[in-house]
Every structure is written in C-alpha cells, then in structure tokens.
Amino acid sequence: MFCSRQRPLARVLGLKPDPLGCLEFLKYGYTLRDRTHFQGLKRLLPGQILAYDDASKKLAIIENSVLWAEEAVQHSSRHTLIDDCWNALTEAVRASLVPKQRNAILLSGGWDSRTLFAAALAEVPRANLVAYCHGDMKSSEIDISRSLANSTGVAFQAEPIDKRSFDTDFLQSCFETTEDVRFPWFHVAGKLLAQAEAQSVSSGVYGEVLGGHYGVSMILGGASKAMAVGKALLGLRNGASQPMTAATTLLNDLHLKTLSRPFSLSKDFWDSLDSPTEAVKADLEWSISRLRQRGVNTADGLIEAFVTEHRGTQYINAQVRSCRSSLDIALPFVDRNLLRLACRIPIGDKIHNTLNKDILSSHASGMLGLPCAATLVPASYPVLAHEAGRVIRRILEQTRRKAFLLTDGRVGVSRFGWVNFEFLRRKQFLRALQEASTHPFWDRQAIGAKVREVESGIYRLPLDPLAMVFLANYNLDLMLR
C-alpha cells in the first residue's frame, strides 16, 4: 500500500509511532534513511522507483537517479556555461508555467526567487504574473521585493505574518491536505493567491543547488564558513580532491553534536529511546552509503546531494508545498535537465550565487540594480562585497537586539529581513498551540513554563526560532492523533 500522505496509511494499518523518526523530524526538520513518523512505513526516496513483478509477486526498489554521480560539466568558456544555464532555466519555466493563466511567484529579496522571476518575465506575459511576499511589512526585504515587481510592471501583493498563521482550526484544515503546517504563512499565501484567481504558484526552492548554497559553507559557521567560501571563490580548493571522510565527518558533526533532548519532549519519551545517538548515526551512515552507491564520489558532491535530498526536499520544500492546500504549485528548479546541469557544476564555479549574478548580468541585468536583503549592497556588486555586507548586517542586527533588550523595547530591532514574530508575545498564540498539542510525548510543564516566560516578558530572545519549535510540535501532534 502506498499514499502521498502518511496518516491515512497509519490509520488503515494501525501503525504505531516511530520514536526515532519523530525525534529526527523535531531535531533536524527531516528524517534520515527511509524513516517516517510510523513504524513499518517507509518513504520512497528521491530518484527511487517502486516496481512490482507480477510473475514472482515481489517488490523491488530501483535506484534511478544519476544526480551528483555524473562527471563535472566542461564548458569552453564561462559565457557558454552562463548561456546553457539560462536556456535550461527558461525551458524549465516554459514547461512549468502556463502563459495564458495567472501565475504567482513567491518573491523575496534573495537570489533564487530573483533568478526565477527574471526567467518568468522572459516566458510569461506580465499581465499574467503576480509577485507575492510576506513578513515584516516595514522590512527592507519587502521593499526590495516590491521594487523588483514595480520596476517590471508586475502586480505585487505583500501580506504580514499575523494571527491568521496561528489559528489552530485553519492549521488543522491545512494539515488534512498537506500534512505539514510548519510554515503556515505559506498556507495563508496559497489561500490568498487562490482568492486572487492565481492558478499556480512557484518559488525559488532547489535554486540553492544552482546558487551553490548547499555545499560545505551551509554546514559550517563563523570563521570556518568564511574561510570555506573564500577558498572556493579564489579557486584554492577542488571538491574532487577533498577526502570523502571529511564530508562524512562534517555530516556526522552536524547531526550528532546537537543530539540532545528537546525541552518540549518528556524525559520518559527520551528514556524510551534505545541509544538515540547510535541509532541516528546508523541512519546517517545508511543515507550516506546510498549516495555513495549511486556513484557520488566527491566530498562536495556528497554534501550537496545529502543537503538537497534531506533539508531541501523535506524542510525547505515544505514551504511552497504548503500552498497546495489551496492551489497548484510549480517547481522550475527541479526540472530534470536544469537540476542535472546544476549538479554537475563544481561548487567553486557557483558558490554563493556567483553564477546567478553572471546569469542575470548577461540576460536580465535589470534584476541587479537593487540590493539583496541579506547583503545590503546592490546585487551587481562583487561577491566579496556581498559577503562583507552579510557580516555588517549581522553586527547591526546583534547590536540592535542588545539595545532592544537593554531599553526594554524602546529601541526597535533591525528591519532588514522579513522575520518579525513579536506579535507572538501576546497571550493567545503560543498558548493556543500548547493547549492543542495533547500527545503524551510532550513535557507539558516545560512547554507551559516557556509560554509563561514569553507572555510575562522574561523571554527576550527573538521569537521566530521558538515559534518554529511550537509549530513542529503541533505538526507532529496532528500526525500522531
């Protein structure tokens, strides 16, 4: 038996929860191996085919993907590579979007959606496009998105993230369609765009592969990340020459060093797990071994493949998939020809959107006049200036956050990015999620204490990470009912 959702199968077959699958979902946002939330229920992984032989009455899983297993792309010049990428992207858009219908683009201040937006403008009449952005209505990111749309004559719609995204009745109805309410503002987006008569919605998801974001630099942090990016930009490292053990070590560190009991899970549940560190390590080894058997034989390729097929497919992709509760979605960056090409480009040739910048410079230079929300400087500036902008933005955000705490909110926080969840300090929102989560897994006392800290003003950290914890908890609770 198979289905696109888990809970119907679990109900029909009477399956029990898989504690390790639930833990991985809460800790990482994805499950490893072919694990799900339920014992005896497996995921069909990216690139796999489930085949049934009627003669032998046997099932077999066939690995069909060649992604990250093919030789690196060879081009006579950078210009040839740029043109090939643009042609593949516009062909993907042409195959995904219907020019005669109303198509929505989830537009942010970043590179992936900006590149997609440029390709959509080349293939779809402007009258049949609408750009949508949500978040802090006073943020630089929404201003950038609005300016991008206005400069091209495309209709623009911006919406705040507010109580609509935390209405438990609304979330339950959305869950019945998508089984994922970790990003409820995308459910709201789908509903509003459907009301505006859009037939489909697209986003830049999986554009991270073309942009070189799913490599080593995403796993590392601080000075190590800056060094990795600098080496790649300067051509001082070759992914093919890096030892595979280094990639495996990085992936192990990413998953195992943070493996501890989440505050929201009960101690009884944690104690019921049989050696969770060893179990997660075994799942991780299985996942890495599968990619190696496919033919992924470089460290950069292994990391990019792993991150894309786990974080990209199960977590980041859940954002635009949430719109499916109301309308169809289209994912141009997952087009087979485009994705195969992006996977074959060495990380040093595309890291931190160097390739996106060159593509737009050659084919849609109007997209480069405005800054990126994360980097503060115009997109046309050199990549090193972008990276310096990231550092400056982070310093400014940390400084304003400290001033916000010291002055008890009289000095406001920075408004560069779209994130602003300060409205959650009102009593009804987090408390409603707490009261709606009833599974025995939860440490209700610890969750209640956290809610009281927020409501009383003791909790002065940014609320978006905590909101994501509460939403993931509620998502799991809905799954296991």
Q: Domain coordinates of the chain in residue numbers?
A: 1-64+243-259+269-296, 78-212+312-374, 396-480
228-283 residue pLDDT tens? 666 666 665 544 446 789 899 999 999 999 899 999 999 999 988 989 999 999 99
Range in 170-184, 198-212, 234-248 with the lowest mean pLDDT: 234-248
The DSSP result for 20-84, as a single string, is: HHHHHHHHHSS-STT--SBTT--PPPTTEEEEEETTTTEEEEEE---TTTSPPP--SSHHHHHHH
Mean pLDDT, all residues of the chain? 91
The CA–CA distances, whole Å, from 168 to 172, 184, 324, 392, 425 equal 6, 10, 18, 38, 17
Q: pTM for the complete prediction?
A: 0.92
* pLDDT of 377 strictly over 90: no
Nearest CA to 348 out of 184, 234, 202, 218 is that of 234
Would you state the pLDDT for residue 239? 46
pLDDT classification of 80: cutoffs 50, 70, 90: very high
* pLDDT of 163 strictly over 80: yes
Cα 128 to the center of its chain, rounded Å: 27
pLDDT classification of 52: cutoffs 50, 70, 90: very high
The DSSP result for 153-197, as a single string, is: T-EEEEE---GGGG-HHHHHHHHHHHS--SSHHHHHHHHHHHHTT
**Cα 223 to Cα 427: distance, rounded to the nearest angstrom:** 39
**Cα 147 to Cα 297: distance, rounded to the nearest angstrom:** 43
109-149 residue pLDDT tens? 899 999 999 999 999 999 999 999 999 999 999 999 999 99
The DSSP result for 408-462, as a single string, is: TTSSPPP-SSS---GGGGSTHHHHHHHHH---TTB-HHHHHHHHHHHHHT---S-
pLDDT classification of 409: cutoffs 50, 70, 90: low
Fold assignment, 78-212+312-374: Rossmann fold (3.40.50)
Range in 344-358, 406-420, 456-470 with the lowest mean pLDDT: 406-420
Q: Is 225 helix (H, G, I), strand (E, B) or coil?
A: helix
* pLDDT of 426 strictly over 80: no
The answer to whether the CB of 172 falls within 8 A of the CB of 478 is yes
13-50 residue pLDDT tens? 999 999 999 999 999 999 999 999 999 999 999 999 99
